């Protein structure tokens, strides 16, 4: 075996040994009208990120979509709730990064902390005016009030839209299949 082959093999073996991140959970406020947590998160997040105009002025719903995306970006690639999801895993990671950048949340913040903060703010006693008080100081470089304002004016986030829609399609119908059009000859 050449040195290059040995390095490649050791890299593959090392990658296979990487443990998945610790599990995360989604609070009940972010799970409605579905048979299980993952289905609820996929359906709601895909709907939210595909039509952000419907969330204008509704930061609580946008906050729930962010929590759901965080959950999906950890749990689907881990293999704990499904098998191999192929290219959807990096799509979800890119989507989470896109959303975190937009909100000013550092990549080093643990996903469960983001999930809990978004769910707590969405379900804040006292409604929308009290919601920023539920967001821990330092979660966002923009600050809690600005982050809540951004959630109320969610722009189109193309990576989040594509990833959640593709993940939902995969979850409900399985992997994409190649379609052979060779039989369509004249």
Domain boundaries, the chain: 34-173
Query: CB neighbours of 99 closer than 8 A, spacing ≥ 6?
Result: 66, 69, 105, 157, 160
Q: Model pTM?
A: 0.84
**Structure confidence by residue, pLDDT tens digits, 47-91:** 999 999 999 999 999 999 999 999 999 999 988 777 677 889 999
Answer whether 154's CB lies under 8 Å from 55's CB: yes
**Structure confidence by residue, pLDDT tens digits, 107-159:** 999 999 999 999 999 999 888 889 999 999 999 999 999 999 999 999 999 99
Alpha-carbon distance of 150 to 56, in angstroms, equals 10
> How many separate helices (H) and strands (E) can be counted in the chain?
7, 0
pLDDT at site 145: 95
């Amino acid at each position: 075996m050449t040195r290059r082959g040995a390095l490649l093999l050791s890299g593959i073996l090392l990658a296979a040994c990487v443990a998945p991140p610790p599990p995360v959970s989604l609070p009940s406020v972010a799970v409605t009208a579905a048979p299980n947590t993952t289905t609820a998160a996929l359906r709601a997040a895909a709907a939210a990120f595909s039509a952000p105009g419907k969330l204008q002025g509704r930061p609580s719903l946008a906050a729930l979509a962010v929590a759901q995306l965080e959950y999906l970006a950890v749990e689907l690639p881990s293999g704990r709730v499904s098998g191999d999801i192929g290219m959807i895993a990096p799509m979800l990671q890119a989507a989470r990064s896109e959303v975190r950048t937009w909100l000013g949340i550092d990549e080093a913040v643990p996903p469960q902390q983001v999930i809990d903060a978004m769910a707590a703010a969405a379900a804040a006693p006292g409604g929308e005016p009290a919601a920023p008080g539920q967001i821990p100081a330092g979660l966002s470089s923009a600050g809690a009030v600005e982050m809540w304002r951004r959630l109320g004016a969610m722009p189109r986030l193309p990576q989040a839209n594509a990833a959640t829609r593709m993940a939902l399609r995969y979850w409900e119908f399985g992997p994409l299949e190649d379609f052979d059009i060779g039989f369509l000859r004249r």
